[in-house]
Amino acid sequence: MLSNFKDLSDKTLMPIAKTVGKLGFRPNQLTLLGLILMAGSGYMIAYDNILEGIILLMFGGFCDMMDGLLARSMGIESKMGGFLDAFTDRYADTFVIGGMLLLNDLENQNLYGVSGHAWAIGALTGALLTSYARAAAERSGVSQQGVGMIERPERLVLIMIFLSIGEFTGIMEVAKAAVYVLAILTILGHLTVLQRLVHFLQNSEKNEE
């Protein structure tokens, strides 16, 4: 969804990316820094240090936004950089959702008769398959830009929102907030995979005509 506003966001954030470049950062350095921050976020979340986990998640997401923009601003986009970005994103998703899987009391949470751990596994597979569906389709020449209900930016935003609700509002416990967002990510993630499959089938037939 947010990818539909990519041109606007890129234009807005490009001055920040140029400033980051002037500080001496290179795109691949930001990519690896983002991965480290995401790993730290998952670790903090797993040990119920939710505030620290959210902060690290925010900075990790910032690095994820900046690396591609920085590469474009410096005119050094490369296949290696794109591969590294996609590769580390999958690890980052695993670290963050894995941290939620290890949250204290998540195993005792149930939603619609499904355990918190099962929702976490569903959310992780949905995240990984969403990315795989896009990569597989685009290798065959079918663009998946903007296709689907949820992509990585939305996942990170939803996780931060629900963890913040659990940590700061008192409306519900962190583990309960976590199981709600994991359920949302599971449902939307697998619906996105289905949307991308349908989009691929429709457009691959057109390409063959």
Burial of 78 (0-12, 13-18, 19+ CB in 10 A): exposed
Task: Report yes or no: 116 and 173 within 8 Å, Cβ to Cβ.
Answer: no
Q: How many CB atoms lie within 10 A of CB 61?
A: 23
- Residue 77 CA to residue 129 CA, distance in Å, equals 25
What gap in Å lies between CA 32 and CA 37, rounded to an integer?
A: 9
89 tagged catalytic:
yes
Kindly name the residue from 64, 85, 89, 93 that is annotated as catalytic.
89
Residues recognised as catalytic? 89
